[in-house]
């Protein structure tokens, strides 16, 4: 009987081993994540619609505002350029002005450039002009256009 019992136990153990699920070795793998952010620089310009006093003159008169946004880690440059090289024109008559951007005075030709050293978001800057008054200014409608450009470094 002992032999029979031993044979039965051994048979059960063999059957259990054959039907038990095999244990797998641990396996792992990876998923690489990637992302690209393109350089994006924008300016939102507001023209204040100011009528300048060329006879009495203007000192740092704000004519507009700019909201700067640029995600370049190296920074960017803002440039303001006058279409008439720093002159309001009425026909052949002109009145010279100086452009200021965020407190920086231009070069006398109506242009000014400001460099930022890092990425900046929602930076508001003022655009202003200075005009030396001249009581002998010829009558007319004097105009010019300022163009604001942003460029990543």
Q: What CATH homologous superfamily does 41-152 map to?
A: Fimbrial-type adhesion domain (2.60.40.1090)
Give residue limits of the domains in the chain: 41-152
The pLDDT value given to residue 119: 98
122 compared with 14, residue with greater pLDDT: 122
**How many angstroms separate the CA atoms of 81 and 97, rounded?**
12
- List pLDDT tens digits, range 18-40: 555 557 688 999 999 999 999 99
Q: What is the mean pLDDT of the chain?
A: 90
- List pLDDT tens digits, range 2-11: 554 444 454 4
Q: Are 64 and 80 in contact (CB under 8 A)?
A: no
Q: DSSP for 35-64?
A: ------EEEEEEE------TTT-EEEEEEE
pTM: 0.78
> If you average pLDDT over residues 59-83, what whole number do you get?
98
Instruction: Return the number of other C-beta atoms located less than 10 Å from residue 3's C-beta.
Output: 7
């Amino acid at each position: 009987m002992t032999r029979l019992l031993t044979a039965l136990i051994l048979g059960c153990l063999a059957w259990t081993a054959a039907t038990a699920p095999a244990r797998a070795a641990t396996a792992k793998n990876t998923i690489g994540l990637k992302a690209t952010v393109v350089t994006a620089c924008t300016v939102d310009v507001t023209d204040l619609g100011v009528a300048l006093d060329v006879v009495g003159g203007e000192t740092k008169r704000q004519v507009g505002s700019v909201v700067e946004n640029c995600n370049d880690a190296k920074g960017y440059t803002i440039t303001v350029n006058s279409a008439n090289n720093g002159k309001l024109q009425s026909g052949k008559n002109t009145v010279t002005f100086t452009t200021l951007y965020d407190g920086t005075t231009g070069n006398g030709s109506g242009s000014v450039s400001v460099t930022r050293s890092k990425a900046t978001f929602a930076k508001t800057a003022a655009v202003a002009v200075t005009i030396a008054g001249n009581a002998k200014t010829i009558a007319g409608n004097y105009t010019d256009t300022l163009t604001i450009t942003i460029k990543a470094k």
